[in-house]
A and B are shown apart, each in its own frame.
Chain A
Amino acid sequence: MSTEHSHGRHATAPNPQLEKRLTPEQTQALDARVKALESVLVAKGLVSPASLDKLAEIYEHDLGPMNGAKVVARAWVDPAYKQRLLTNATAAIAELGFGGLQGEHMVVVENTPTIQNMVTCTLCSCYPWPVLGLPPVWYKSAPYRSRSVIDPRGVLREFGLELDESVEIRVWDSSAEIRYMVLPERPSGTEHMSEEELAALVTRDAMIGVARVNINQKATS
């Protein structure tokens, strides 16, 4: 166990006790346990294999950050839409056809040159599924959940984002059923871009608030 921690300012070696790794044996055991539960639930008529597959597919393919990126791009090109998004995010997001489970009540918070918003869920893993899909493992893990609220500046530094003291960081802890998404700043030099081209720049991390949108970086997820 490392003893040279210093309040999160320097990256320490990952704590081997907390690193999640499954051995092949553990994976096999989980497979068996899951199959047993599934067999029982199917036999009792509570779930069907077809619906299991369909639901997983929806979250693997249909829902993801590309949805949120469309919302962001629309807000960048259409000032009236941006106002609606900031006033009633649920309705504005629904205009683009997105909404539903874990996004029934949305709030979008806008980054400015002096405000950087960051979203977290310290208690579990709450995340705006309809616009960002399912959260990445790091968002649901102890290091981010715990330090996002006490050391947001250090967390952002780990993500490669160094902020000036003049920037206020606002951390949104999703402790109830409201789900938050960040509207990142539009990078300069993008005036000529179409809405579609703009959406391609917007990363999931920018909509969580741990990154900024970079004109040189294409979103891969």
Chain B
Amino acid sequence: MNGVHDMGGMTCFGPIVREENEPVFHAPWERRVFAMTMLAMGDAGNLDEFRHAIERMDPAHYLTSTYYEHWLAALETLAVENGVVTTSELATGMATSGSSGTPLDAEALPVVVRQGVSTQRETGRLTPRFKPGDRVVARNLNPPGHTRLPRYVRGKPGTISRVHGTFVYPDTNAHHGGEQPQPVYCVRFAARDLWGPATTRDSLYVDLWEDYLENAE
């Protein structure tokens, strides 16, 4: 979706504000939201729909709320939409239906964290269409749902820098449309092609799924 989260290239947000020696969590509730989201996400939804739930926040609220408020909003949204909790349970803090799972053991967590959850796949579209050096154009796609194709590269020419492998496709996975794995590429864009004539030689490297790309004419 063309949301405010897709902010690459905007210049209205003022200076970067930094906090010296900032803590990992600024309040106990942040710490609990972080951990709860990580632990509940297996049951509440997948990472792609989690990101999209954040993207679906009211734009003004998105811009003026703190980071972990985004996580909390997304977790509540998904937990309700995917039938894990009800809105009245959220309001009262009391579960009305019984337990549906066995929580991860605390002792098992370091191993789970160390293993990670890869979205690379040995299924789906495995043969890359493009190779390093190929000239491509990022397609002008404007899907209503989730995508990881930023607006600032749509319709712009680039060069394949690297072939990363085959990964779960977020545009379908976020909407329970299946993983549909396909090749992901690192695409190099020249700053002048994205932002207009410039004196700098800077470049942008953006990771894009194959369906986001087309051969340059």
Contacts and interface: CB of A to CB of B under 8 A. Distances in A.
Interface of A: 2, 5, 7-8, 11-15, 17-20, 22, 27, 30-31, 33-48, 50-56, 58-60, 62-63, 99-105, 107, 122-125, 130, 133-134, 136-138, 140-153, 155, 158-159, 165, 168-178, 220-221
A205 B15 CA distance: 17
Given A55-B109, A123-B8, A177-B184, 11 more contacts: A13-B14, A22-B66, A40-B93, A41-B36, A48-B106, A100-B115, A138-B18, A149-B152, A168-B201, A172-B205, A175-B207
B186 interface: yes
Nearest to A54: B106
A220 B20 CA distance: 10
A124 B74 CA distance: 13
B22 interface: yes
Nearest to A50: B106
Contact of B16 (A35, A105, A155, A221): A155
A150 B11 contact: yes
Nearest to B150: A122
20 contacts: A5-B14, A31-B29, A39-B95, A41-B36, A43-B95, A44-B95, A46-B40, A55-B39, A104-B118, A122-B8, A122-B150, A125-B67, A137-B19, A143-B17, A147-B10, A149-B8, A150-B8, A150-B195, A170-B203, A176-B164
B161 to A, nearest CB: 10
Given A31-B28, A105-B120, A150 B6 contact: no
Contacts of A34: 29, 32-33, 36, 72
Interface residues of B, number: 99
A19 B65 CA distance: 9
B72 A30 contact: yes
A56 B150 contact: no
Interface string B88-112: 0111111101111111111101101
Contacts of B25: 56, 60
Interface of B: 5-19, 21-22, 24-29, 31-36, 38-40, 43, 51, 54, 63-67, 69, 72, 75-76, 79, 84-85, 89-95, 97-107, 109-110, 112-120, 148-150, 152, 162, 164-165, 167, 184, 186, 194-195, 199-209
B102 A123 contact: no
B100 A45 contact: yes
B69 to A, nearest CB: 7
Contacts of A173: 8, 150, 204-207
Nearest to A142: B13
A47 B40 contact: yes
Please name the 8 residue pairs, one residue from A and one from B, whose CB atoms are nearest each other, closest first. Answer: A36-B93, A122-B8, A45-B99, A176-B207, A43-B95, A100-B116, A54-B106, A146-B10
Contacts of A46: 39-40, 43, 84, 99-101, 103
Nearest to A168: B201
Nearest to B114: A100
B182 to A, nearest CB: 11
Contacts of B106: 48, 50-51, 53-55
A123 B52 CA distance: 11
A16 to B, nearest CB: 10
B14 A55 contact: no
A45 B102 contact: yes
Contacts of A172: 205
Given A36-B91, A124-B5, A168 B202 contact: yes
Contacts of B10: 142, 146-147, 150
Contact of B116 (A14, A101, A107, A140): A101
Given A142-B63, A150-B195, A104 B24 contact: no
A7 B33 CA distance: 36
Contacts of A45: 99-103
Contact of A20 (B15, B65, B112): B65
Contacts of A107: 162, 186
